[in-house]
Structure 1
C-alpha cells in the first residue's frame, strides 16, 4: 500500500467515524415535549414508553396533577403558556380551554377509525377522546357489615341518615371525577333539586378529598366504607383483593372523556402532532383498554372485572360544553356550601 493510499483510507475512516459521531449526537438530542396530564400514574409510563419507541427523537416530559389542578394551572398560564400538549385531561376542561382560545384544532391521522361520539364535534376537532370515565361507588362490604350499613343502589340512597359520616367524595375543584359528579347531578336533577340533593348528601360526607382515586382507596382500606370514585380505580382496587363491591347508581352515571389537545402557542407543533397522531392510534387505545371499559377506538376493549356489560348504557345525559361554561359558577357555589369538610391540601 502506497503512502497516498494509506492516507486516503485513513481520511475515509475518519470521515465515517465523524459522521457516526454526528449521527449519534443528533440522535441523542431528543426534542423534549412538555405534556400536561391528569392521567393515572399507572398508565403514564406505558404511554410514554410506547410513544417514544415509535418516535425515538422525541422525549415526553410529563407535568401531572389532578384534573382541577391541571385545568387551573393552564388557565393561570394563559398569558404565557408552557405546555406543548395536553393529554388525559377531562374533555369538559379542554372545552373550557377552547372557549378561551388556547387550543389548536387538529385532526390526527387515523381519526376516521375512532368513535366520533367521544371527540369534539367540530372539524377539525379541538380535542380527541381517548376513553370515557364515569362515576362508581366503592362499597366495602366487610366494614359495612360491621357498621350495619345496607348496600346502596342509588344516589338518593346515599342521603339516608344511616350513612352519616361514612362517605368520602372527590373535591370538584381538584378532581375531574368530583366535578363530573356535581355537573351530572345538576344537569339531570335540575339546578334547584341538584343543590338540594348535595345539601342532603353533605350531611353524610366524612371528607371531600383532592383525588378521584382516593375515595375508592379509602373504601378498600376500610378508612371510610363508601367512596364515590370512578370505574378505573374501582376496578383496580377490587382486582387488588380489597373487599369492595362496585355500585353503579340506577339514576345514571356522571361521566367525562379523557382527551388530547394541542396548545396553540407551542413551538413544537410538528412533534405535538405526532404525539396526537399516536394517541389516536389503535396501539394507544389498546393501552387504555387495559383499564377502561369504553375507549375511542372500537373493538379493542375486553371484559373488566366488576364492570357490567351494559356499562355504556348507564351513562347519564351530559353536555360537556355546558359543564365547561358553568364550571366557575358551580365551583363557587359548591365551595360556599361545602368547603368546610374539604381535606387539607
Structure 2
C-alpha cells in the first residue's frame, strides 16, 4: 500500500511539474510574441522634404524613432522636390511631404497630389493661416533676408533694399547672386524683385523694365565658383553682401564667428511658410500612420523642440514661445512683402526658363 501511495505521489509531482513548465513556456512565448508585435508595430513612412539640412534630418529620424516611427527621408531643393513629387503623381513614393512653401503646396493641391487632413494642433495656429480645405498646414515661417558684413558696412552705408544692388554701382561685385534656381530660397529672391514690376501686357506678366532690372542684378552680382562658400565669403568680407532664410542665420554666425547685419526694406522681405501635407496614394491606401506622424510633428512639443534646436520661427503659437530671441528679433524688425503667390505659381516655371536661357 505504501508503495502504491508513493507511486501516486511521484506521478502527481511529475504532472504538476509538467503543467508548471508548460505555463512558464507559455509566458516566454507570450513575451516573445509581444516583442515581435512591438517590432511589427514600427510605423514606416517615406518623408520628402527640403528642410533636412544642418542636422535636421538626423534629429528628426531619432526623435521620430522614439515616438514609434521609422522614417525614410528624401531630401532635395524646393523646386527640384516639387518637380519630383509632380512627376511621381501616378505612382507616388512619398507618404508625407513637408518644408515646401505655400506656393508649392498650392501646386500639389491643384494636381490632386494631397489628401485633406485636419491635425489635432490646428487650433493652435493663427486664424486664417491654414489651407481652407485642410490639404496642407503651416509649420515654420522663413523670412528671406539680405545680410551684410558689419566690418565692411555700417547700417548707413549698407544697402537698404534689393533695388540698391541694381541701381548703385558701388555694390557691383559685392553681393552674391543665386546660380541655381532649384531651391525655394533662391527663387524667393527672384520673386521678390520681379513682383515689383508686374505688367499684364509684359513678357510673362513682367514689364520690360523688370526684366532689365533682374538682368542687371545678376550681371553685377558675384557668382560663387565651385570650391568657394557664400557664407565664408560673407564672413571674411570678400563678398560682404548675401542672403539667407531666417532660421539659417544663427548657424552661419556660429560657424564663422561673426554677426551679420540685417537689411529690412520698407517694402518688406519675401516670406515663405513651410507647410506639411499627406500625399494622395490612392483611395485604397491607409493614411492612418501618415496622420499620426503629422499630428506628432506639428505638435507644440515637437515644433517647440525643433525651434530650440534649429532656430526656427514656428507658426504654432504655443510653440512660438520656444523661439530664440534672435528669431523673435527678426520677426519684429522685418515686415512681410506683399507677394501674390498664386500669380507666381502660374508663372515661376516660365520665369526660371527665361532666366536660365536669357539672363544667366
Q: TM-score range by the shorter chain?
A: 0.7 to 0.9
Aligned 8 A contact 2:313 2:327 in 1:
no
SS in 1 for 2:117: coil
Aligned 8 A contact 2:300 2:316 in 1:
no
CA–CA separation in structure 1 for the residues paired with 2:126 and 2:66: 26
Q: Specify the alignment match of 2:213 in structure 1.
A: 197
Greater CA deviation, 307-316 or 264-273? 307-316
In the alignment, does 2:169 pair up with 1:153? Answer: no
Aligned 8 A contact 1:113 1:297 in 2:
yes
Greater CA deviation, 247-256 or 293-302? 293-302
> Per-residue displacement from partner, 1:201-254 (whole Å, max 9, x unpaired)?
1122222799xxx64454235452221222111232224422532223332101
Number of equivalenced pairs: 329
4+ residue segments displaced more than 6 Å: none
Q: Specify the alignment match of 1:252 in structure 2.
A: 268
Q: Structure 2: which 5+ residue stretches go unaligned? A: 1-11, 199-205
In the superposition, the TM-score normalised over structure 1's length comes to 0.85
> Per-residue displacement from partner, 1:175-221 (whole Å, max 9, x unpaired)?
101112222322344222442331221122222799xxx64454235
Where do 1:52-67 residues align within 5 Å? 52-54=65-67, 56=68, 58-67=69-78
Q: Specify the alignment match of 1:168 in structure 2.
A: 176
Q: Structure 1: which 5+ residue stretches go unaligned? A: 340-345
Q: Indicate the structure (1 or 2) with the bigger Cα radius of gyration.
A: 2
Q: Specify the alignment match of 1:129 in structure 2.
A: 138
Q: Specify the alignment match of 1:300 in structure 2.
A: 321
Q: Specify the alignment match of 2:17 in structure 1.
A: 6
In the superposition, the TM-score normalised over structure 2's length comes to 0.82
Aligned 8 A contact 1:155 1:251 in 2:
no
SS in 2 for 1:314: coil
Alignment match of 2:304 (pick from 269, 282, 286): 286
In the alignment, does 2:338 pair up with 1:329? Answer: no
Q: CA RMSD in A?
A: 2.7
Aligned 8 A contact 1:130 1:279 in 2:
no
Q: Specify the alignment match of 1:37 in structure 2.
A: 49
CA–CA separation in structure 2 for the residues paired with 1:80 and 1:33: 16
CA–CA separation in structure 2 for the residues paired with 1:180 and 1:309: 17
> Per-residue displacement from partner, 1:78-115 (whole Å, max 9, x unpaired)?
22211111012222111111111111111111211212
SS in 2 for 1:70: helix
Alignment match of 1:207 (pick from 219, 223, 242): 223
> Per-residue displacement from partner, 1:21-71 (whole Å, max 9, x unpaired)?
1221222232320000011423333333333323x2x21111112212211
